[in-house]
Amino acid sequence: MRRRRAAFVVRAAILAALIAMLEVGCRTGAIDPLTVIPPSDMVASMVGQIGSGELDASIVSTFSTILIAFVLAVILGIATGATIHRFARLRDVADPLLASYYSVPTFIFYPLLVALLGLGKAPLVVLGILSAVPAVVISTLSGLDSVAPVLMKVARVHRLTAARTLWWIVLPAALPHLFTGFKLALSYALIGVIAGEFILSGSGLGYAISFAYQSFDNRTMYGAMLFVLLVAVIANGILYMWEGRLARRRSRG
C-alpha cells in the first residue's frame, strides 16, 4: 500500500515535470509555438471554448453518438455472447473469428459505411458498434465460462427456476468479466467514434479538432484536443476504479 502510494507520487511528479518542461520550453521559444502551444494556453483555450458554448453542439453530437453505439454494442454483444456460449458448435466457429477480429483494423470500414449510410450519425454509430461489440462478446463468453459448475449444482440443490438461477447466480458470478467488457466497449466506442469524426464527418469533437488543424488554428485545436483527452482519461479512470472495487471485494486481502 505504501509502495503503491510512492509509485503514485512519483508518477504524478513525472507528469507534472513533463508538463512544466513543456510550458518552459514553449515560453522560452525552445519549442516552436507553431508546433506546440504552452499547456497553460491549452487549458485556457479549452476553458474558453467550453465557457463560450462554441463546443456545445459538438459535445452533444459526439457523446450522444458514443452513448447510442455503446448501449447497442452492449445489448448486441451480450445477446451474441450468450447465444455462442449456449451452442458449442457455434462456438467452435466463433472462437477463431473473435481471435482474429482484433487484428482487423475495423476503422478502414468507415469510408464504406459513409458511402452506405451517408455522412452523419449513422455510420459513426455503426463504426462505434463494430469497435465495441467484440469486447462485450468476449467478456460475456469468459463471464459465462467463469461461473463455477458447483454454483450451478447449488442452484439445483435449492431448486431454483431457470430465471432465478440466471438472476441470482449466473449474472452476479459473471459480473466482473461483464464489467471489464463494458469498460472496454465504452473506450473502444469512444475511440471509434472520435476517429470517424476526425477523418470524415461534418460534426462532433473529432471534426472540430480536424477542422481547426486544417485551418491552422492551433489554439482551438489544442483546447479541443485537451478536452477530448481529459474526458477519455477521466471516464476510463472512473470505470477502472469501479472495476477495482468490484474485484477487490471478491479477491483476498
Partner 1 sequence: MSDLSLETAQAATATRRPARVLDVVVLIAVVLGLWHVIGTWTHGVAIAPPLQTLVYLAGLLHTEMFWSHAAATLEAFLLAFVLSALMGLALGLIFGVRRFAGEVAEPILAGFYTIPKVTLYPVVLLLFGLGMSAKVAFGVMHGLVPMTLFTLGAVRNLPPVLVRTARVLRLSPGRTMRWVLIPACLPDIVNGLRISFSLSLLGVLIGEMFSSQRGLGFLLVNGMAQNNVPLSTAIVTVIVAIAIAANTLMLRFVRRFARRADEMAG
Partner 2 sequence: MTGQCHVSLREAVRRYDGPPAVHALGPVNLEIRRGEFFSVVGPSGCGKSTLLDVISGLVRPSSGSVHFEDKELRGEVPDGVGVVFQEDSSMPWLSVRDNVAFGLRTSGLPKKEVAGRVDHAIRFMGLAQFAGHYPAQLSGGMRQRVCIARTLVLRPRLILLDEPFGALDQQTRLLMGDELLRLWRETGATVLLITHALDEAAMLSDRVGVMSARPGHFIDMVETGWPRDRDSRVISDPKFGALTARLWSSLREESLKTMGHAA
| Nearest residue to 195 via CA among 98, 139, 114 | 114
Angstrom distance (rounded) from CA 101 to CA 186: 17
Q: Which residues bind partner 2 (CB under 8 A)?
A: 148, 150-151, 153-154, 156-160, 164, 168-169, 172-173, 175, 249-253
Half-sphere exposure (Cβ direction) of 47: Cα atoms closer than 13 Å: 6
* Per-residue cell: 111: 469510408
User: Which partner from the list partner 1, partner 2, none does 86 bind, CB cut-off 5 to 8 Å by kind?
Assistant: none
Angstrom distance (rounded) from CA 194 to CA 196: 5
115 lies in the site for partner 1, by CB under 8 A = yes
Helices 171-199 + 121-145 axis angle, to 10: 150
Angstrom distance (rounded) from CA 219 to CA 228: 15
User: For residues 67 and 160, which CB has a smaller minimum distance to partner 2 in the complex?
Assistant: 160
14 lies in the site for partner 1, by CB under 8 A = yes
User: Which partner from the list partner 2, partner 1, none does 202 bind, CB cut-off 5 to 8 Å by kind?
Assistant: none
User: For residues 59 and 147, which CB has a smaller minimum distance to partner 2 in the complex?
Assistant: 147
| Nearest residue to 245 via CA among 184, 185, 187, 179 | 179
User: Which partner from the list partner 1, partner 2, none does 93 bind, CB cut-off 5 to 8 Å by kind?
Assistant: partner 1
**Shortest distance, CB of residue 247 to partner 1, whole angstroms?**
8
**Shortest distance, CB of residue 171 to partner 1, whole angstroms?**
19
Angstrom distance (rounded) from CA 183 to CA 37: 32
178 neighbors 143 (Cβ within 8 angstroms): yes
User: Which partner from the list partner 2, partner 1, none does 175 bind, CB cut-off 5 to 8 Å by kind?
Assistant: partner 2
User: Which partner from the list partner 1, partner 2, none does 164 bind, CB cut-off 5 to 8 Å by kind?
Assistant: partner 2
User: For residues 51 and 253, which CB has a smaller minimum distance to partner 2 in the complex?
Assistant: 253
213 neighbors 37 (Cβ within 8 angstroms): no
Angstrom distance (rounded) from CA 198 to CA 108: 13
Give the binding range for partner 1 (CB under 8 A) out of 10-18, 21-29, 73-81, 167-175: 10-18
Give the binding range for partner 1 (CB under 8 A) out of 51-59, 72-80, 141-149, 162-170: 141-149
**Shortest distance, CB of residue 183 to partner 2, whole angstroms?**
18
Half-sphere exposure (Cβ direction) of 85: Cα atoms closer than 13 Å: 20
Residue identified by cell 460475456 is: 140
Q: Tell me the residue length of the chain.
A: 253
The contact set with partner 1 (CB under 8 A) reads: 3-4, 6-7, 10-11, 14-15, 34-36, 89, 91-93, 95-100, 102-105, 107-109, 111-116, 135, 138-139, 141-142, 145, 180-181, 183-184, 187, 190-191, 194-195, 198-200, 206, 209-210, 213, 218, 221, 225, 228-229, 232-233, 236-237, 243
